[in-house]
Chain A
Amino acid sequence: MAIRKAPKLAVWKFASCDGCQLSLLDCEDELLAVAGQVQLAYFPEATSAVMKGPYDLSLVEGSITTPHDVKRIQQIRKQSKFLVTIGACATSGGIQALRNFGDVEEYTRYVYAHPEYIETLQQSTPIAQHVFVDFELRGCPINKMQLLEVLNAFLNERKPNIPRYSVCIECKRRGTPCVMVSKGIPCMGPVTQAGCDALCPAYNRGCFGCYGPMEAPNPEALSASWKSMGKDENDLVRAYRTYNAHAEAFQRESERHAQQR
Chain B
Amino acid sequence: MPSKGKSRTIKVDYMARVEGEGALHIKLKDLPDGTVEVRDAKLNIFEPPRFFEAFLRGREWTEAPDITARICGICPVAYQSSSITAMEMIAGVTVPQSIRELRRLIYCGEWIESHVLHLAMLHAPDFLGYDDAIQMAQDHPQVVKDALRLKKLGNDIMTCVGGREIHPIAMKVGGFYKTPTVEELQAFLPELEWGLDAAQALTDLVATFEFPDFERDYEFVAMRHPDEYPLWEGRIVSNKGLDCELAEFFDYIEEEHVRHSTSLHSFIKARGEYHVGPMARFNLNFDQLTPLCQEVAEKYGVAPPVLNPFKSIIIRCVETLWAIEESIRIIKGYTQPDAPSVPVAPRAGRGYGCSEAPRGICFHTYAIDDKGIIQDARIAPPTAQNQKSMESDLALLVPTIGHLDDAALTLKCEQAIRNYDPCISCSCHFLKLEIDRE
Contact = CB atoms under 8 A, between A and B. Distances in A.
A107 B54 contact: yes
Given A18-B72, A18-B73, A118-B49, A110 B14 contact: no
Interface string B23-42: 00000000000000000000
Interface in A17-36: 17-20, 22-23, 25-26, 28-29, 31-32, 35
Contacts of A94: 70
Contact of A40 (B20, B134, B423): B134
A66 B144 CA distance: 37
Given A40-B132, A140-B167, A120 B48 contact: yes
Contacts of A243: 70
A246 interface: no
A138 B144 CA distance: 30
Interface string A75-117: 0000000000000000000111011001010111011111001
Given A31-B148, A140-B167, A69 B15 contact: no
Given A28-B155, A32-B137, A200-B169, A117 B54 contact: no
Centre residue among A111, A140, A200, A205 by max chain B CB count within 10 A: A111
A199 B169 contact: yes
Nearest to B261: A117
A103 to B, nearest CB: 9
Contacts of B338: none
A209 B295 CA distance: 48
B14 A49 contact: no
A174 interface: no
A70 to B, nearest CB: 11
B293 interface: no
B356 interface: no
B50 A95 contact: yes
A225 interface: no
B17 A45 contact: yes
Contact of A111 (B14, B53, B76, B117): B53
Contacts of A49: 131-132, 135
B277 to A, nearest CB: 18
Contacts of A26: 151, 155, 165-166
B74 interface: yes
A106 B144 CA distance: 47
B259 interface: yes
A75 to B, nearest CB: 13
Contacts of A19: 70, 72-74, 76, 166-167
Nearest to A69: B48
A251 to B, nearest CB: 15
Contacts of B172: 205
Interface string B247-270: 000000000111100101000000
A108 B49 CA distance: 9
Interface stretch (A8-16, A127-135, A164-172): A8-16
A208 B134 contact: no
Nearest to B260: A117
B54 A111 contact: yes
A31 B141 CA distance: 13
A258 to B, nearest CB: 12
Interface in B84-119: 117
Interface string B52-69: 111101011001001100
A120 B131 contact: no
A229 interface: no
Contacts of B17: 44-48
B388 interface: no
Interface in B206-256: 256
Given A120-B49, A141-B166, A204 B178 contact: yes
B152 interface: yes
A111 B163 CA distance: 32
B71 interface: yes
A106 B67 CA distance: 20
B194 interface: no
A28 B148 contact: yes
B48 A29 contact: no
Contacts of B135: 47, 49
Contacts of A16: 73, 425
Contact of A203 (B18, B60, B177, B264): B177
Nearest to A40: B134
Given A47-B134, A113-B257, A243-B70, A141 B178 contact: no
Contacts of B20: 13, 18
A96 to B, nearest CB: 4
Contacts of A140: 70, 167
Interface in A44-85: 44-50, 65-66, 69
Interface in B129-159: 131-135, 137, 144-145, 148-149, 151-152, 155
A107 B57 CA distance: 10
A182 to B, nearest CB: 15
Interface of B: 14-21, 47-55, 57, 59-60, 63, 66-67, 70-74, 76, 117, 121-122, 125, 131-135, 137, 144-145, 148-149, 151-152, 155, 163-167, 169-170, 172, 177-178, 256-259, 262, 264, 340, 414, 423, 425
Given A19-B76, A44-B16, 11 more contacts: A16-B73, A17-B71, A17-B73, A18-B425, A35-B134, A44-B14, A46-B133, A47-B131, A110-B53, A117-B257, A205-B172
Interface of A: 13-20, 22-23, 25-26, 28-29, 31-32, 35, 40, 44-50, 65-66, 69, 94-96, 98-99, 102, 104, 106-108, 110-114, 117-118, 120, 140-141, 196, 199-200, 202-205, 208, 210, 238, 242-243
7 contacts: A22-B166, A44-B16, A45-B16, A46-B134, A102-B55, A200-B169, A205-B177
The 9 closest A-B pairs by CB, nearest first: A19-B73, A47-B132, A107-B54, A49-B131, A98-B55, A113-B257, A28-B152, A48-B16, A96-B50
